[in-house]
Amino acid sequence: MQIDTKELVGEKTINPKVIVGLAKFGRGLFAVEDIAVGETIAEFDGEIYTAALASLLPNDPPLYVQDHAVQFSDTQYRYSKFGVLINHSCEPNCGINGVGANFRQVAMKPVLKGQELTYDYEMTEDSDWQMKCDCGSPICRKVISAYKNMPMEIRKKYKGYVAGYLVEKYGEPK
């Protein structure tokens, strides 16, 4: 995938404490002030796409929907200008809040000024999409795919920060 890393860099998001910057994997979101637990980072308010599998979504420039839209039901995905810039980490500081098409990314732990905002892509994904992970975390899982493949101890750690449809489908971890 080729992206213009200069596009949006320096632009503020819906949260004035967050700015677009250059990250290890292209663009990313960074805290310009400390962010408290529960603060909204990005809202998913863009176009909704429907497909039986993530691999059937369009993946044309400039949006690359297949690789960047976030799943919120078994067959629906939503795009966000800024939300898609939050990179993956197997040790994230952000999670998902909300049900159905109305969801947002929120801080799930305090984020300090200068830190990159990240979330675990398996918090929303339950399709055939997958990626190799090189996040650098000591607990990196190496392959990121569907929530159903997420180890139970990690599901427990993320309780309250996983897409609502996945909680409805698989239940809360005990």
pLDDT along the chain (174 residues), means of 10: 45 80 88 96 90 90 83 92 89 93 93 96 93 95 96 96 94 87
Asked if residues 40 and 104 have their Cβ atoms less than 8 Å apart, the reply is: yes
- What is the pLDDT, as a whole number, of residue 5? 39
| CATH code at 18-170 | 2.170.270.10
- Among 116, 103, 117, which Cα is nearest to 161's? 103
Torsion of CA 8, 121, 116, 9, to 10 degrees: -10
Q: What are phi and psi of 54, to 5 degrees?
A: -60, -35
- What is the pLDDT, as a whole number, of residue 2? 36
- What is the pLDDT, as a whole number, of residue 158? 97
- What is the pLDDT, as a whole number, of residue 83? 83
Cα–Cα distance for residue pair 19/17, rounded to 1 Å: 7
- What is the pLDDT, as a whole number, of residue 4? 42
- What is the pLDDT, as a whole number, of residue 10? 55
- What is the pLDDT, as a whole number, of residue 12? 55
